[in-house]
Amino acid sequence: MKAIVLNAGYGGRLRPTTNGLPKCLLPVDADHTVLEVQLRTLARCGIRHVTIMVGYEAEKIEHFLATHTIASLTVQTRYNPFFATTNTAVTCWLAIRDMTEDFVLINGDTLFDTEILRRVLAAPEAPLVMAIDQKASYDADDMKVMLTTSGRLKAVGKYLPDSKIDGESIGLMAFRAEGVPAFRSALETAVRDPETLRLWYHDVINLMASTLLVNTVLIKGLWWREIDTPQDLAKVRASFARRELTGGFRESPRINTVRLKV
């Protein structure tokens, strides 16, 4: 199983903190960046190959990866030259246009307990398995989901009416078997149309849900956070200060730091 991590965007709502710095390199405590936490979590769950999609300040991410390694992980980057004018659907298309193997797709600003990824990987096989959570209310930016009575995805998007909301996607999912070419084909259709170049990848999944089995895994009660705003970042840092992230993160494979001569 491979992993794709989406880190091409600006992180505009975190400015000025992200002026000149990609969101994934923000520190969550004195010792770890967002990207390091993700890589260690992936390695602990048995992922061995990671593609990180880059765009904004790509060179800084590439330098970080050149100087911070995990022995069990092979990590490569792929550049989205259109990151400033497109959205995550284009980034995903560039990531998987030659992908034939099963893979996990992760938002670059989402941190999560290792148990969440383990549950997604252990779920009954389906072309697409999406991790979802539930809460008392949802804001405008949440990727809300509507489910069938059996837990299959019916719809996903930011604009679902309140009466139809059964939860939210946390930005972590696994594509297997026919789900891989189906997603690739749907993305290619989307990026061929100038009117849909700014779609989120969830919008493409929404279009697929009527014809492709998309199962969901409810992870209610497990720790995860999305970092979109300064308030989100403060909450994540507070969580790390309180050591709320469980699942053996602090015992997970260490990042080896290489200091380059300059």
Q: Are 58 and 25 in contact (CB under 8 A)?
A: no
Q: Are 224 and 170 in contact (CB under 8 A)?
A: yes
Q: What value does the mean pLDDT of the chain take? A: 91
What totals of helices (H) and strands (E) does the chain contain, helices first?
Answer: 7, 13
Q: Are 157 and 202 in contact (CB under 8 A)?
A: yes
Q: Please count the other Cβ atoms lying within 10 Å of the Cβ belonging to residue 224.
A: 16
Q: Are 244 and 223 in contact (CB under 8 A)?
A: yes
Higher pLDDT, 120 or 198: 120
At 262 the pLDDT is 24
Sign of the C-alpha dihedral computed for residues 150, 153, 154 and 158 taken in this order: positive
Residue 260 has pLDDT above 50, yes or no: no
Model confidence at 77, in pLDDT bands (50, 70, 90)?
very high
Q: Are 188 and 92 in contact (CB under 8 A)?
A: no
Domains of the chain plus CATH, in order, are 2-126+171-197+225-253 (3.90.550.10)
How many Cα atoms sit within 13 Å of 95 on the Cβ side?
A: 33
Rounded to an integer, the average pLDDT of 50-67 is 96
Rounded to an integer, the average pLDDT of 194-217 is 94
Q: Are 94 and 54 in contact (CB under 8 A)?
A: no
Higher pLDDT, 143 or 195: 143
Model confidence at 253, in pLDDT bands (50, 70, 90)?
low
Residue 172 three-state SS = strand
Kindly report, residue by residue over 125-173, the tens digit of the pLDDT.
Answer: 899 999 999 999 999 999 999 999 999 999 999 999 999 999 999 999 9
